[in-house]
Amino acid sequence: MTRWAACIEYQGSNYYGWQTQEIEGKSVQPWVERALSKIADRPIEVVCAGRTDTGVHATVQVVHFDTDVERPARAWALGGNTHLPDDISFIWAVPVADDFSARFSARWRRYHYVFQNSTTRPAIASQHLTHVHNRLDLSAMARAARVLEGVHDFTSLRSSACQAPNPVRDMHFVRLYQLGSLIVIDVQANAFLHHMVRNIAGSLLAVGKGDRTVEWLGDVLQAKDRALAGVTAAANGLHLVGVGYEPSVVLPETLRFPPLSVGIVRPENRVWPAF
Protein backbone atom coordinates (compact mmCIF):
# COMPACT_ATOMS: atom_id res chain seq x y z
CA MET A 1 0.00 0.00 0.00
CA THR A 2 1.15 3.52 -0.80
CA ARG A 3 -0.10 6.56 1.07
CA TRP A 4 -0.74 9.66 -1.03
CA ALA A 5 -1.40 13.26 -0.07
CA ALA A 6 -3.42 15.51 -2.35
CA CYS A 7 -4.43 19.18 -2.36
CA ILE A 8 -7.91 20.19 -3.44
CA GLU A 9 -9.42 23.57 -4.20
CA TYR A 10 -13.16 24.11 -4.25
CA GLN A 11 -15.83 26.76 -4.34
CA GLY A 12 -18.21 25.80 -1.57
CA SER A 13 -21.27 27.73 -2.73
CA ASN A 14 -22.98 24.69 -4.24
CA TYR A 15 -22.16 22.21 -1.47
CA TYR A 16 -23.27 21.27 2.01
CA GLY A 17 -19.66 21.40 3.21
CA TRP A 18 -16.82 18.93 2.86
CA GLN A 19 -18.13 15.86 4.66
CA THR A 20 -20.22 13.20 2.92
CA GLN A 21 -23.95 13.77 3.38
CA GLU A 22 -26.96 11.55 2.85
CA ILE A 23 -27.92 13.61 -0.22
CA GLU A 24 -25.78 12.32 -3.08
CA GLY A 25 -23.55 14.89 -4.75
CA LYS A 26 -24.26 17.68 -2.29
CA SER A 27 -20.89 17.70 -0.51
CA VAL A 28 -17.29 17.80 -1.72
CA GLN A 29 -15.85 14.59 -0.22
CA PRO A 30 -17.88 12.09 -2.29
CA TRP A 31 -16.92 13.88 -5.50
CA VAL A 32 -13.23 13.62 -4.58
CA GLU A 33 -13.49 9.97 -3.57
CA ARG A 34 -15.44 9.09 -6.70
CA ALA A 35 -12.86 10.79 -8.93
CA LEU A 36 -9.95 8.99 -7.27
CA SER A 37 -11.84 5.70 -7.37
CA LYS A 38 -12.27 6.02 -11.12
CA ILE A 39 -8.53 6.51 -11.55
CA ALA A 40 -7.76 3.57 -9.25
CA ASP A 41 -10.59 1.43 -10.67
CA ARG A 42 -11.48 0.51 -7.10
CA PRO A 43 -12.90 2.33 -4.05
CA ILE A 44 -10.78 5.08 -2.48
CA GLU A 45 -11.54 6.86 0.80
CA VAL A 46 -9.88 10.11 1.88
CA VAL A 47 -9.13 11.81 5.21
CA CYS A 48 -9.06 15.62 5.17
CA ALA A 49 -7.13 18.23 7.15
CA GLY A 50 -10.23 20.19 8.16
CA ARG A 51 -13.92 19.76 7.44
CA THR A 52 -15.49 22.91 6.03
CA ASP A 53 -19.15 23.84 6.46
CA THR A 54 -21.90 24.56 3.96
CA GLY A 55 -20.92 27.35 1.58
CA VAL A 56 -17.30 27.60 2.81
CA HIS A 57 -14.51 27.64 0.22
CA ALA A 58 -11.01 26.16 0.19
CA THR A 59 -7.91 26.94 -1.82
CA VAL A 60 -5.96 24.37 0.21
CA GLN A 61 -7.73 21.28 1.46
CA VAL A 62 -5.15 18.57 2.14
CA VAL A 63 -6.25 14.93 2.13
CA HIS A 64 -4.56 11.57 2.31
CA PHE A 65 -5.56 8.17 0.93
CA ASP A 66 -4.10 4.66 0.72
CA THR A 67 -4.03 2.45 -2.35
CA ASP A 68 -2.18 -0.57 -3.71
CA VAL A 69 -2.76 0.66 -7.26
CA GLU A 70 0.30 2.08 -9.00
CA ARG A 71 -0.41 5.37 -10.71
CA PRO A 72 1.84 8.40 -11.40
CA ALA A 73 1.10 11.59 -9.48
CA ARG A 74 -0.06 13.15 -12.72
CA ALA A 75 -2.82 10.56 -13.06
CA TRP A 76 -4.30 11.26 -9.61
CA ALA A 77 -4.35 15.06 -10.10
CA LEU A 78 -4.92 15.67 -13.81
CA GLY A 79 -6.82 12.46 -14.37
CA GLY A 80 -8.89 13.03 -11.26
CA ASN A 81 -9.91 16.47 -12.49
CA THR A 82 -11.58 14.96 -15.55
CA HIS A 83 -14.10 13.39 -13.17
CA LEU A 84 -14.79 16.52 -11.09
CA PRO A 85 -17.20 19.42 -11.63
CA ASP A 86 -15.71 22.80 -12.53
CA ASP A 87 -15.91 24.12 -8.96
CA ILE A 88 -13.68 21.35 -7.49
CA SER A 89 -10.09 20.76 -8.60
CA PHE A 90 -7.04 18.72 -7.61
CA ILE A 91 -3.96 20.96 -7.34
CA TRP A 92 -1.35 18.25 -6.75
CA ALA A 93 -0.81 14.70 -5.47
CA VAL A 94 2.39 13.24 -4.01
CA PRO A 95 3.37 10.00 -2.21
CA VAL A 96 4.02 10.48 1.52
CA ALA A 97 5.24 8.45 4.49
CA ASP A 98 2.94 5.76 5.82
CA ASP A 99 2.49 7.60 9.13
CA PHE A 100 1.42 10.89 7.51
CA SER A 101 -2.11 12.01 8.34
CA ALA A 102 -3.70 15.00 6.61
CA ARG A 103 -5.61 15.65 9.83
CA PHE A 104 -3.48 14.54 12.76
CA SER A 105 -0.10 15.54 11.31
CA ALA A 106 -1.33 19.10 10.70
CA ARG A 107 0.18 21.69 13.06
CA TRP A 108 -1.95 24.65 11.98
CA ARG A 109 -4.82 25.73 9.78
CA ARG A 110 -5.26 29.19 8.29
CA TYR A 111 -8.45 30.92 7.16
CA HIS A 112 -9.37 34.21 5.52
CA TYR A 113 -12.70 35.85 6.15
CA VAL A 114 -13.40 38.43 3.43
CA PHE A 115 -15.70 41.46 3.72
CA GLN A 116 -16.52 44.09 1.15
CA ASN A 117 -17.19 47.33 3.01
CA SER A 118 -19.13 49.52 0.58
CA THR A 119 -22.39 51.40 0.34
CA THR A 120 -23.70 49.25 -2.50
CA ARG A 121 -23.56 45.48 -2.76
CA PRO A 122 -21.06 43.82 -5.13
CA ALA A 123 -22.07 41.90 -8.24
CA ILE A 124 -18.65 40.34 -8.94
CA ALA A 125 -17.38 37.63 -6.57
CA SER A 126 -20.42 38.03 -4.33
CA GLN A 127 -20.26 34.32 -3.46
CA HIS A 128 -16.74 34.78 -2.10
CA LEU A 129 -17.27 37.65 0.30
CA THR A 130 -19.74 39.18 2.73
CA HIS A 131 -21.03 42.65 2.04
CA VAL A 132 -21.16 45.21 4.89
CA HIS A 133 -22.56 48.65 4.10
CA ASN A 134 -21.81 50.20 7.51
CA ARG A 135 -18.54 52.10 7.68
CA LEU A 136 -16.15 49.97 9.77
CA ASP A 137 -13.55 51.14 12.29
CA LEU A 138 -10.68 48.83 11.37
CA SER A 139 -8.40 50.18 14.08
CA ALA A 140 -10.95 49.20 16.73
CA MET A 141 -11.38 45.75 15.15
CA ALA A 142 -7.61 45.16 15.13
CA ARG A 143 -7.27 46.20 18.77
CA ALA A 144 -10.17 43.95 19.78
CA ALA A 145 -8.67 41.02 17.84
CA ARG A 146 -5.46 41.17 19.85
CA VAL A 147 -7.14 39.52 22.86
CA LEU A 148 -7.82 36.38 20.80
CA GLU A 149 -4.15 35.58 20.19
CA GLY A 150 -2.57 32.88 22.36
CA VAL A 151 -4.00 29.84 24.13
CA HIS A 152 -7.62 30.35 25.23
CA ASP A 153 -10.87 28.57 25.95
CA PHE A 154 -12.97 29.57 22.92
CA THR A 155 -16.32 28.34 24.23
CA SER A 156 -17.85 31.78 23.62
CA LEU A 157 -16.81 31.69 19.97
CA ARG A 158 -17.85 28.22 18.91
CA SER A 159 -21.19 26.87 17.78
CA SER A 160 -23.57 25.79 20.53
CA ALA A 161 -23.77 22.50 18.61
CA CYS A 162 -19.97 22.01 18.55
CA GLN A 163 -19.06 18.51 19.75
CA ALA A 164 -15.32 19.00 20.28
CA PRO A 165 -14.46 17.71 23.76
CA ASN A 166 -11.87 20.45 24.38
CA PRO A 167 -12.63 24.11 23.57
CA VAL A 168 -9.02 25.26 24.13
CA ARG A 169 -7.14 26.33 21.00
CA ASP A 170 -3.81 28.07 20.33
CA MET A 171 -4.49 31.11 18.16
CA HIS A 172 -1.22 31.98 16.42
CA PHE A 173 -2.40 35.31 15.03
CA VAL A 174 -5.41 37.39 14.01
CA ARG A 175 -4.58 40.06 11.41
CA LEU A 176 -6.63 42.53 9.43
CA TYR A 177 -5.80 43.62 5.88
CA GLN A 178 -7.40 46.23 3.70
CA LEU A 179 -7.19 47.30 0.09
CA GLY A 180 -9.87 49.69 -0.98
CA SER A 181 -13.24 48.31 0.08
CA LEU A 182 -11.91 44.78 0.70
CA ILE A 183 -11.19 43.75 4.29
CA VAL A 184 -9.66 40.39 5.17
CA ILE A 185 -9.51 38.84 8.63
CA ASP A 186 -6.54 36.47 8.52
CA VAL A 187 -6.49 33.85 11.29
CA GLN A 188 -4.20 30.92 12.06
CA ALA A 189 -4.46 28.42 14.90
CA ASN A 190 -3.47 24.87 15.70
CA ALA A 191 -7.10 23.94 15.01
CA PHE A 192 -10.54 25.55 14.95
CA LEU A 193 -13.88 24.76 16.57
CA HIS A 194 -17.21 24.57 14.73
CA HIS A 195 -18.14 28.06 13.42
CA MET A 196 -15.21 29.56 15.35
CA VAL A 197 -13.86 31.74 12.53
CA ARG A 198 -17.33 32.90 11.50
CA ASN A 199 -18.15 33.80 15.11
CA ILE A 200 -14.87 35.72 15.40
CA ALA A 201 -15.73 37.58 12.19
CA GLY A 202 -19.22 38.38 13.45
CA SER A 203 -17.90 39.61 16.79
CA LEU A 204 -15.21 41.80 15.22
CA LEU A 205 -17.86 43.16 12.88
CA ALA A 206 -19.89 44.28 15.91
CA VAL A 207 -16.84 46.17 17.18
CA GLY A 208 -16.15 47.67 13.76
CA LYS A 209 -19.71 48.96 13.47
CA GLY A 210 -19.46 50.58 16.90
CA ASP A 211 -22.13 48.33 18.41
CA ARG A 212 -19.58 46.97 20.91
CA THR A 213 -16.44 48.38 22.53
CA VAL A 214 -12.90 47.16 21.94
CA GLU A 215 -12.82 45.72 25.49
CA TRP A 216 -16.08 43.81 25.01
CA LEU A 217 -14.51 40.90 23.11
CA GLY A 218 -12.14 40.14 25.97
CA ASP A 219 -15.08 39.99 28.36
CA VAL A 220 -16.91 37.66 25.97
CA LEU A 221 -13.92 35.34 25.76
CA GLN A 222 -13.63 35.13 29.54
CA ALA A 223 -17.36 34.51 30.03
CA LYS A 224 -17.32 31.18 28.12
CA ASP A 225 -20.87 31.83 26.96
CA ARG A 226 -21.75 31.68 23.26
CA ALA A 227 -24.88 33.78 23.81
CA LEU A 228 -22.73 36.83 24.63
CA ALA A 229 -20.71 36.90 21.39
CA GLY A 230 -21.62 38.39 18.03
CA VAL A 231 -23.68 36.78 15.31
CA THR A 232 -22.25 34.02 13.14
CA ALA A 233 -21.00 35.68 9.95
CA ALA A 234 -22.21 34.27 6.64
CA ALA A 235 -20.38 31.25 5.24
CA ASN A 236 -19.66 32.71 1.81
CA GLY A 237 -16.88 34.99 3.11
CA LEU A 238 -14.83 32.15 4.59
CA HIS A 239 -11.86 30.50 2.83
CA LEU A 240 -9.53 27.75 4.06
CA VAL A 241 -6.21 29.00 2.65
CA GLY A 242 -3.49 27.03 4.40
CA VAL A 243 -2.56 23.88 6.31
CA GLY A 244 0.85 23.55 7.97
CA TYR A 245 2.96 20.49 8.77
CA GLU A 246 6.35 19.79 10.31
CA PRO A 247 9.32 20.77 8.09
CA SER A 248 10.10 17.08 7.67
CA VAL A 249 6.83 16.70 5.74
CA VAL A 250 7.65 17.96 2.26
CA LEU A 251 4.55 18.87 0.27
CA PRO A 252 4.36 21.00 -2.89
CA GLU A 253 2.16 23.81 -1.59
CA THR A 254 0.09 24.11 1.58
CA LEU A 255 -0.60 27.85 1.66
CA ARG A 256 -2.55 29.59 -1.07
CA PHE A 257 -4.75 32.65 -1.06
CA PRO A 258 -8.30 32.73 -2.38
CA PRO A 259 -8.61 34.03 -5.97
CA LEU A 260 -10.29 37.15 -4.64
CA SER A 261 -7.17 38.26 -2.77
CA VAL A 262 -4.36 37.25 -5.11
CA GLY A 263 -2.22 40.34 -5.62
CA ILE A 264 -4.28 42.20 -3.05
CA VAL A 265 -3.67 40.85 0.44
CA ARG A 266 0.00 41.23 1.20
CA PRO A 267 1.80 42.24 4.41
CA GLU A 268 2.94 45.52 2.90
CA ASN A 269 -0.71 46.42 2.25
CA ARG A 270 -1.79 45.75 5.81
CA VAL A 271 -3.27 48.94 7.21
CA TRP A 272 -3.86 47.80 10.79
CA PRO A 273 -0.93 45.77 12.19
CA ALA A 274 -1.13 43.57 15.27
CA PHE A 275 -0.70 46.10 18.06
The reported pLDDT for the residue numbered 260 is 45
Q: Model-level pTM?
A: 0.90
The one catalytic residue among 41, 53, 137, 225: 53
β-pair type (57-67, 88-96):
unpaired
Q: What is the mean pLDDT of residues 107-129?
A: 91
Same domain assignment for residues 57 and 142: no
The reported pLDDT for the residue numbered 178 is 83
Annotated binding-site ranges for substrate: 111
CATH number for the domain harbouring residue 35: 3.30.70.580
In a domain, 275, yes or no: no
Q: What is the DSSP string of 138-192?
A: HHHHHHHHGGGSEEEE-GGGS-TT---S--EEEEEEEEEEEETTEEEEEEEES--
Same domain assignment for residues 256 and 161: yes
The reported pLDDT for the residue numbered 177 is 86
Over residues 223-252, the pLDDT tens digits come to 999 999 999 999 999 999 999 999 888 898
Query: Does the pLDDT at position 264 exceed 60?
Result: no
Q: What is the mean pLDDT of residues 52-78?
A: 95
The reported pLDDT for the residue numbered 259 is 46
Per-residue pLDDT band at 263 (split at 50, 70, 90):
very low
Percent of the chain with pLDDT over 90: 75
The total domain count for the chain is: 2
The reported pLDDT for the residue numbered 78 is 95
Same domain assignment for residues 126 and 177: yes
Q: Please give the residue range of the domain that contains residue 66.
A: 2-96
Query: Does the pLDDT at position 7 exceed 60?
Result: yes
Q: What is the mean pLDDT of residues 52-75?
A: 95
In a domain, 196, yes or no: yes
Residue 53 designated active-site? yes
Q: What is the mean pLDDT of residues 55-68?
A: 96
The reported pLDDT for the residue numbered 55 is 94
Q: What value does the mean pLDDT of the chain take?
A: 89
Annotated binding-site ranges: 111
Q: Count Cβ neighbours within 10 Å for each residue of 169-184 and write b for 16 or more, e otherwise.
A: bebbebbbbbeeebbb
The reported pLDDT for the residue numbered 223 is 96
Burial (Cβ within 10 Å: 0-12, 13-18, ≥19) of residue 5 = buried
Of 96, 120, 152, the last residue of a domain is 96
Of 64, 96, 128, the last residue of a domain is 96
